[in-house]
Amino acid sequence: MNASSSFRLAGLAVAALLATSAQAQVDPAQGYPAKPIRVIVGFTAGGGTDVVARLVGQKISEAFGQPLVVENRIGASGIIAAEYVAKAVPDGYTLLVSPSTVFTINPIMFAKLSYSPTQDFVPISKAVSFPFVLVVSSSQPIRSMKELVDFVKANPGKANYGGPSGLFQLALELFKQRTGTRVEYIPYKGSNEAVSAVMAGDVLMALLDTGPVSGPLKGGKIRGIAVTSTARMPLFPDIPTMSEAGLQGMDIEGWMGMFAPAGTPPPIVKKLQDEVIRIVKLPDVRARMYGLQLTPAGNTSVEFARSIGSDIERWKALAKAANIKPAN
């Protein structure tokens, strides 16, 4: 059974249980929460995932009348935090806020993963989404996708791309597949290092998340060729989408969402789901998220599960086609 099917069945099971829970004599969500909730984040305090967890967590705390404590368990590309929550008691008091890579990319890039993204968790809701921006140095004579592709084909010795491993490496493979080009991948530890390499002329291009590139784009140090969202970004309305730039099939969305351990009672999942959906519609929350170059999302557990399963299958097929082998 593939990941999409696994998540689809899990989602249908949650939907069925949610539909019948109203008939149950004891609703586990009625007295929930009766004590503080812990939210585990696998990345550093002050980073994007941490900020989203604390922003949403504060609003949940206010609504539920119980403290929500964010705990950072850092390391191993989010694996440490995911493993911890996967093994937690499924009672709604230990949750995970995670970026998409922990669920859709880690299973492809790591041969031995200590958790299953499709079997050890129940997706609650996607909190935010964000696109990626394909950039070159402003010193390069490249101003469009056509000019970039033509340059790469005419200058194979200069055709290189910088970015962290995982999603950014797979995104390059998708670009190569869609354009019929050969581009060397040069790994960097993070997006900040990769955008610095573009500015310095060490690499020709990079496809990076919006946070690290926004400052250099505004400062004119790099040039945006296209964004991976289906619509133009309000922050950079002059940068076309990949489709507008003439490159189809390059829609890529990053996200951050909330998860519970598998086996968490569906009424509690729905209570949290509904609360996240409500929170991301609040004007002050939306303003804060837009300020971080993030788009408020909010979807149901079933919808979230379905999209994750689809993403896993997409990246798995691409990695296989590109002969990308997982690390041990």
33 & 114 share domain = yes
DSSP 139-207: TSS--SHHHHHHHHHH-GGG-EEEE-STHHHHHHHHHHHHHT---EEEE-SSHHHHHHHHHHTSSSEEE
Task: For the chain, list residues with pLDDT below 50.
Answer: 21-24
Pair (223, 297) in one structural domain: no
Would you say residue 267 lies in a domain? Answer: yes
Q: What is the pLDDT of residue 14?
A: 56
- pLDDT confidence of residue 23: 45
The reply to whether 304 and 216 lie within a common domain is: no
Same domain as 143, residue 80: no
Q: Which pTM was predicted?
A: 0.86
Does 238 map to a domain?
no
Looking at the structure of the chain, the number of domains it has is 2
- Residues 301, 291 share a domain: yes
Is the residue at 190 inside a domain? yes
Domain boundary (190, 211, 227) is at: 227
Q: What is the pLDDT of residue 22?
A: 46
Q: What is the pLDDT of residue 246?
A: 95
pLDDT in tens, 141-158: 999 999 999 999 999 999
Same domain, 175 and 38: no
Give residue 109's domain range: 3-130+254-321
Backbone phi, psi, residue 258, to 5°: -110, 140
Residue 244 lies in a domain: no
Say whether both 148 and 207 belong to one domain.
Answer: yes
Q: Within this chain, do residues 136 and 122 fall inside the same structural domain, yes or no?
A: no
Is residue 177 exposed (0-12), middle (13-18) or buried (19+ Cβ within 10 Å)?
middle
Which of residues 174, 208, 227 is at a domain's end?
227
* Residue at 246 is within a domain: no
Q: Please write the tens of the pLDDT for every residue from 1-54.
A: 565 555 555 555 555 555 554 444 578 888 999 999 999 999 999 888 999 999
Domain boundary among 227, 242, 273: 227
- Structure tokens that stand for 233 in this block: 């970004």
Q: Do 184 and 46 reside in the same domain of the chain?
A: no
In which element (H, E) is residue 207 found?
A: strand 205-209
Please indicate, yes or no, if residue 236 is contained in any of the structural domains: no
Give me the pLDDT at residue 242, please: 97
The encoded tokens of residue 160 equal 């290189």
Rounded CA gap, 135 and 140, in Å?
10
Q: Are residues 7 and 119 in the same domain?
A: yes
- Residues 18, 121, single domain; the answer is yes
We report the CATH number of the domain holding residue 191 as 3.40.190.10
Task: Examine residue 196 and state whether it is found in any structural domain, yes or no.
Answer: yes
Same domain, 144 and 291: no
Q: What is the SS3 assignment for 42? A: coil
Is residue 249 in some structural domain? Answer: no
User: In whole angstroms, how far apart are CA 236 and each of 98, 163, 198, 210?
Assistant: 26, 21, 19, 10
At 40 the pLDDT is 98
- Distance between CA atoms of 15 and 1, rounded to whole angstroms? 20
> What does the pLDDT read at residue 73?
96
